[in-house]
Amino acid sequence: MTTNATNVMTATTATVTNATISMRTVAYPADGLTMIGHLALPAGVGRRPAVLLGPEGMGLSDVERCRADALAELGYVALAFDLNGGHYLGDPEEMLARCLPLLADPDRMRGIGQAALDVLRAEPRTDPARIAAVGYGTGGAVGLELGRAGVGLRAIGTVNATTTGRPGEAARIRCPVWAGVGSEDPIMPPVQRDAFTAEMQAAGVDWRLTVYGGALHAFHHPPVDHPTVPGVGHHPRHAQRAWRDVLDLLAECLPLTED
């Protein structure tokens, strides 16, 4: 899949800077929408390894923005990308109406991911040869589809996204894949986990799966003030563990000290 930096459209909002990092909003076209992402930059001026960070199907929220900021504080360039054209879909029916057709269409997911990746690569602080994709739910499925499209990534990490792809395309994944899922997740049940691991194994991918005992779907996400679909629930202890597992993946595959 080719990149097209001319599709990148940077928003006019001002950069916000704190003592160690700077953040700005970026707008760019994808899936027929104007996506609104959150870019966080570490201190300094040189090129840094970068992380493409995908949200749950509800869309980009302060949860993902804060995670991008935390990655920037560690030294990564981080782009929390958008799925829904700047809208947070707190209504479960609205979210499912948007996400279920998207999850059934690998090409649409790849288009959304590629558009965000173009933004990240166009950032002067990004080292384009050192990018990982980390995502939650639908955002994790987008990262996996980038890998299945043969995009050059250093690592792919997903939480709640043990999704499978079209036959044979996982062989294009050229980096380690880590996936985390709750043992009681009814949206990604054991049969789906087994299909995912079988796909990765058959393709010769360097893969790992972590099952968090007793956790539901979206266990990593703090409680929300709107209705959720059944089988969704926060698990504070496993949420912390999953974040540490993400950081371990990045430390292994995208080290900050690499020459």
The residue type found at 188 is M
pLDDT at 136 over 60: yes
Q: Where are the domains of the chain?
A: 16-253
Residue whose C-alpha is closest to residue 90's, from 223, 209, 196: 223
- Residue in this structure with the two tokens 């996506």, named with its chain if needed: 35
Compute the distance between CA of residue 39 and CA of residue 49 in angstroms, rounded to an integer.
14
pLDDT digits (tens, 9 = 90+) for 198-238: 999 999 999 999 999 999 999 999 988 888 888 999 999 99
pTM: 0.91
Q: Classify residue 79 by burial, with Cβ atoms within 10 Å: 0-12, 13-18, 19+.
A: buried
Q: Is 185 helix (H, G, I), strand (E, B) or coil?
A: coil
Long-range contacts of residues 93-96, Cβ cutoff 8 Å, at least 24 apart: 95/57, 95/58, 95/229, 96/57, 96/229
Compute the distance between CA of residue 156 and CA of residue 195 in angstroms, rounded to an integer.
18
pLDDT digits (tens, 9 = 90+) for 53-101: 999 999 999 999 999 999 999 999 999 999 999 999 999 999 999 999 9
What pLDDT does residue 258 have?
55
5 pLDDT band (50/70/90 cuts)? very low
What pLDDT does residue 1 have?
35
What pLDDT does residue 17 have?
54
Q: Classify residue 126 by burial, with Cβ atoms within 10 Å: 0-12, 13-18, 19+.
A: buried
Q: Return the higher-pLDDT residue of 1 and 187.
A: 187
Provide the 10 A C-beta neighbour count for residue 44. Answer: 10
Cβ–Cβ under 8 Å, residues 92 and 60: no
Q: Average pLDDT, whole number, for the chain?
A: 92
Cβ–Cβ under 8 Å, residues 39 and 78: yes
pLDDT digits (tens, 9 = 90+) for 81-91: 999 999 999 99
Q: Which architecture does CATH list for 16-253?
A: 3-Layer(aba) Sandwich (3.40)
What tokens does 62 get? 């302060």
Compute the distance between CA of residue 210 and CA of residue 225 in angstroms, rounded to an integer.
28
pLDDT at 189 over 90: yes
pLDDT digits (tens, 9 = 90+) for 143-156: 999 999 999 999 99
**Residues in contact with 134: Cβ distance below 8 Å, sequence separation at least 6, in sequence order:** 51, 52, 53, 54, 140, 143, 155, 156, 157, 158, 246, 249, 250
pLDDT digits (tens, 9 = 90+) for 240-255: 999 999 999 999 999 9
Q: Return the higher-pLDDT residue of 1 and 118.
A: 118
pLDDT at 14 over 50: no
What tokens does 121 get? 């690569």
What pLDDT does residue 215 have?
97
